[in-house]
Structure formats: structure tokens, C-alpha cells
Amino acid sequence: MTTQIKRFLDGYSRHFRMNSRSIRSIKYGILFMDRKFSRQLVNIHYSNYTTTKRPVIANSLFFPNKKPFHFHREFHNSFSCNAVVPFLLADIGEGITECEIVQWFVKPGDHVSEFDKICEVQSDKASVEITSRYTGIVKDLFYKVGDMAKVGSKIVDIETENINETIDSTDEEIKEIKEIKEIKESSESVITQTLKIETDLSNLSSKGSNVSGGKSYILAAPAVRRIVREHNIDIKSIKGTGKDGRVTKEDVLNHVAYLKIEDVQKPYVPQYLVEDKIVPLTNIQKSMFKIMTKSLQIPHFGYSDEYSFDNVISFRNMIVQSNNQFSIKKISYMPIFIKSFSVALQQFPILNASIIEEEKDGGDSNVIKIRYRSAHNIGIAMDTPGGLLVPNIKNVQTKSIFEISEDLQRLQEAGKKNLISPTDLKDGTITLSNIGTIGGNFLSPVVVCSELCIAAIGRIQRLPRFEIIKDNITGEIKEQVVAKNIVPISFSADHRIIDGVTIAKFSQRWKNLLENPALLSVELR
């Protein structure tokens, strides 16, 4: 019974904001207080405390003219234990210290659940959607769209009810920000909107309310807003045909088509800069600036050659004609380049390696080692709306040409939408650049600082070449000019580790595989 009374008094003291230390003892159902409350005694009729009745506090000097009340009602109305916790921007890439806020999916007052989208940020290399770790109410946003947010800084406050879980989660988040060194995998989040949010947004649309400093809120899905940004269009100029004036994907595409018609009808007026203009670098340009500055400290050397491409064309045509037997209906030359490149690397693993520099104990010079990497994560240089990116296809040595084609198509589609994930951008081991799709023959590619070699593919051309023919009857050797499909190949390598002989031998091996595609089947495991 004493334990029950103590629990009761604990809630009682919290309800009346009494210091628990002012309660001195409990004896015979009488609560004795310290000197400050010595004249104020509260009689507890615990004799009536049964399984069906709760303790009742009688009238006292402390509460004159007050009716007795039941404790369980007051305990239900005790002080709120909600806590406002900071949501920190986690590290989303190797060496990335800040990200640009591209868009917010929430606003102050919105209710969010765990794994709901909070915002989209643009790092040096990729666009990532940040999801919530907590369930609660958004209290405040600390950055505007276009602002640069530091990794580890507070981007939003969320009021949550589960204090213990929140504290543990916040401590874990801070620890991760301090210790994490690799890019986290960007996980797909489930978008759930509560009825309250839908009602609020509908009211904003119907009443013409303003949010975020007087700007009218336009209803549109995140995917639709992304398309709007890609075409550099003001969403306010698009008339929404969806529910409550919501802008749909079709609305955006129709608006883009209308603008193109207008552009065709308008006479061309060349645009010239009237005066000098200074603009900041984009995130991708900043990344390229840093990487290329570091790469140019590498002593480069180049090598180039021409490969006959006639047999590859025939090989691909045979695959296309038999496309009903495969899941891939269309295949380009690039998967054949990539697979044959990987097969050639098996005999020259040094080209797929990387340099490890370790500090030597007690010495001035560092210890240089070579890491031979088993995985062939071949990077493919891509021109995206945001700039040059080099995602890579993982473990090419274990994949077929069709599997490589599927991965390549996925990366190309993601690149067009600026949706290449950080996972696709990290852990590359060697790079292929297909500049021939745009134009040009030979070039001097720059080696990425974490790799030892890069190859560039030029434009396929039909050119005259001498061919040696031997007469089977007379044995006479003749030369004749024939038309051949020729593809120029350029290499650059780190001359601190790779020598010219190694590149020349590798090139001959790759050339032999491309000029004789049947050998690929012999090399497959």
C-alpha cells in the first residue's frame, strides 16, 4: 500500500509543481511536508483505495473551496514530455563538406513519419533525397532553397514524443557524422502524406495562401518539380489541370512543347554578352576542379592505336537480329567494348590497381604499395544536364554482355534525369570515355587520381586501308586498298607505375578481342 501511495504522491507533486524533496514522510495516510508546507496537510483516504476506487484528495487549506478530484484525470493531463530535436545533415559522400538545398518536401507544422522525405540536396556529384529519422512535427527549417548546408549542421527541428528513443537516435546520428568515411547507399523512401497535410495543402491552394515569405504554394509532386527544374521553367507559369490546380507531368511536357513552338516561330537573334559576368562554379564543376587539380600532379604518358571494327559490327548485328531470344531488345557497341576491356584486364591486373601511400615510422619518406583490385568496376564518362559524371558498372568480370547492357541503360537513364546515386559513383577502378558519340578521333584523357589508367574511344569511321592478300594457287602476296570501319583508341596512364610496354601489350590484347569477337566466348568463365 505504501508503494501505491508513493506512486500516487509522485504524480500529485508533479501536477501541482511541488518539489519532490519538500515531501518528507508518509505515515498513517498523512503527507508530512517540510517547514514551508508545515501548515498545509493533505489527508489521503487510502482506506477507500480498492481495485474499483481510486484515491480521493480531500479539501485542504492548500485548496480552499475546491471539490475533491480524482487523481487519474489529473495524471492524464500532466505536463507534455515532447522534445524538440535537431535533424542533422549526414555525410553523403567521400570528402564532401557541404551540399546545396535543392528543394524542401516539408514546411513548419507538417507531421512527418520515420523515412518520410525531408529535403533533396545536391552534392558535388549527385542529388540525394534526405529522409526523416523521427516521427513528429516539423518546427523550423534552417536553410532556404539554394543555400549551402554544412555536413553535420542542423537543417530542421522536429518535435517528437519518444524522448529516450530520440536521444539515442540523435547521439547515434552525431556519432555517424563524425566517424563515417564512405558514401551511404541512397535508399528508396516510401512517400506517405497524412490527411492533415493534404487538407492543409488543399486549403492553401483554394484560399491562395502564401507560404515561405509570401510566395504562393503550387501543388506538384517531387518528380514533376524535378522535370520543371531540368527545363529551367518557372512552375508558376504552368497552369495545373490536376485536382485543386495540381501541376501534373503532362502539364509540364505540354508547356515545354508550347515553348519550343514559340522558339521556332521567333526569328533567331544571336545573344552576346554586353558586359563581363562572374558566376560561381556549380557543385559538379567544383568537384571536377578538385579532382583534375590533383590528377595533374600525376606524370601522364599517352598511347594510341587504331582497331578494325568490321567484325564487331557483324557481331552486334547478329545479336540484334536474334533479339527475340534475349530480354534486351536493343544493344549498343559500348557493352561489347566494356566486356572485352574487362577480359583483357585479366592478363594485366596492374592497370586495374591503385596506389597506397603509408607513413613510415621514424622516417621521412612514405612507404608506397600497390593494391591489386579483384573487382573490375569500370567507369563510364557521361555527359549529364548537371555536367560530366563518371558512374561505374560494378563487377564487370562476372557479368555477361546483356547484363552490362542493362546496367549501362540504367545509368544512362538516371544520368538524363540527374539521378545517378552516390553508390554508382564510388569505388571505380578504371575508366572508359566514349568521346566518339559526339565526335573526334584521338585525345589525351586525364587519369583519375584514384586510378592508374584511362582509355578513350573515338569516332568510328569508314576509311581506306591496305590489306595483304595471298593467292592460294600461286602463293603470290598482293596488296589492295579496301574500305574498313576503323575506331581510334587513346590511352593515358600513370607513368610512376605503368610503363609504355605494358600499355602497348594491353592494347594489342584488347585489339585482338575486338577484331575477333569469337575469342570472347573462349575467355568467358
Q: Is 226 part of a structural domain of the chain?
A: yes
Q: Is 188 part of a structural domain of the chain?
A: no
The shares of helix, strand and coil residues in the chain, as percent rounded to the nearest 5, are: 35, 25, 40
The band of 362, judged by pLDDT with boundaries at 50, 70 and 90, is low
Residue pair 98/148 in contact (Cβ under 8 Å)? The answer is yes
Residue 495 CA to residue 473 CA, distance in Å, equals 50
Q: What is the DSSP letter of 441?
A: S
Residues, the chain? 525
> Which has more confidence, 224 or 510?
510
370, 454, 496, 504 from 349: Cα distances, Å: 11, 14, 16, 14
Condensed to tens digits (0 to 9), the pLDDT of residues 51-68 reads 344 444 433 334 444 444
> Residue 270 CB: number of other CB atoms within 10 A?
4
Tell whether 259 and 386 lie within a shared domain.
Answer: no
Q: Is the pLDDT of residue 266 over 70?
A: no
Tell whether 355 and 321 lie within a shared domain.
Answer: yes
Specify the number of domains making up the chain. 4
Condensed to tens digits (0 to 9), the pLDDT of residues 170-213 reads 455 544 444 433 433 433 333 333 333 333 444 444 444 343 33
Tell whether 249 and 110 lie within a shared domain.
Answer: no
- Helices 334-345 and 310-321, interaxial angle, to 10°? 120
Tell whether 350 and 381 lie within a shared domain.
Answer: yes
Q: Is 274 part of a structural domain of the chain?
A: no
Tell whether 392 and 513 lie within a shared domain.
Answer: yes
Q: Which is nearest to 451 in space by CA: 302, 288, 294? A: 294
Burial class (CB in 10 A: 0-12, 13-18, 19+), 115: middle
Last residue within a domain, chosen from 115, 149, 179: 179
Residue pair 447/300 in contact (Cβ under 8 Å)? The answer is yes
CATH number at residue 254: 4.10.320.10
Tell whether 232 and 347 lie within a shared domain.
Answer: no
The band of 515, judged by pLDDT with boundaries at 50, 70 and 90, is very high
Q: Say how far residue 407 (Cα) sits from the centre of its chain.
A: 17
Average pLDDT, the chain: 75
Q: Say how far residue 181 (Cα) sits from the centre of its chain.
A: 15
Rounded-to-10 torsion of CA 96, 97, 102, 107: 130
Identify the sign of the CA torsion 355, 347, 425, 294.
positive
Tell whether 71 and 95 lie within a shared domain.
Answer: no
Last residue within a domain, chosen from 76, 97, 122: 76
- Angle among Cα 140, 103, 284 to the nearest 5 degrees reads 125
Condensed to tens digits (0 to 9), the pLDDT of residues 118-161 reads 888 877 666 778 888 888 999 999 998 888 888 888 899 998 87
Tell whether 479 and 351 lie within a shared domain.
Answer: yes
Name residue 284's beta-bridge partners. Answer: none
Tell whether 392 and 353 lie within a shared domain.
Answer: yes
Tell whether 504 and 487 lie within a shared domain.
Answer: yes
Residue pair 327/402 in contact (Cβ under 8 Å)? The answer is yes
| Ordered DSSP codes for 46-70 | GGG--SS---EEPPBTTBTT---EE
Percent with pLDDT over 70 in the chain:
67
277, 358, 362 from 367: Cα distances, Å: 47, 5, 12
SS3 161: coil
Condensed to tens digits (0 to 9), the pLDDT of residues 297-338 reads 999 999 999 999 999 999 988 888 776 666 666 789 999 999
Q: Considering 15, 157, 300, 495, which one is annotated as catalytic?
A: 495
Q: Considering 10, 244, 383, 499, which one is annotated as catalytic?
A: 499
> Which has more confidence, 145 or 33?
145
How crowded is the C-beta side of 253, counted as CA atoms within 13 Å?
4
Q: Is 358 part of a structural domain of the chain?
A: yes
Residue 511's identity, in one-letter code, is K
HEC assignment per residue over 221-251: CHHHHHHHHHCCCCHHHCCCCCHHHCECHHH
CATH number at residue 327: 3.30.559.10
Question: Residue 97: its pLDDT value, please?
Answer: 75
| Ordered DSSP codes for 297-354 | TS-EEEEEEEEE-HHHHHHHHHHHHTGGGSS-S---SHHHHHHHHHHHHTT-GGGG-E
The band of 236, judged by pLDDT with boundaries at 50, 70 and 90, is confident
Q: Is 186 part of a structural domain of the chain?
A: no
CATH number at residue 129: 2.40.50.100
Instruction: Retrieve residue 318's grid coordinates.
Output: 547478329
Last residue within a domain, chosen from 76, 95, 118: 76
Structural domain for 41, as ranges: 2-76
Q: Which is nearest to 221 in space by CA: 196, 201, 200, 195? A: 201
Q: Is 184 part of a structural domain of the chain?
A: no
Tell whether 358 and 486 lie within a shared domain.
Answer: yes
Residue pair 378/404 in contact (Cβ under 8 Å)? The answer is no
Tell whether 70 and 174 lie within a shared domain.
Answer: no
What lies within 8 Å, CB to CB, of 24 at 6+ separation is: 32, 33, 34
- 499 a catalytic residue: yes
Most confident of 217-231, 418-432, 434-448, 504-518: 504-518
Residue pair 343/513 in contact (Cβ under 8 Å)? The answer is yes
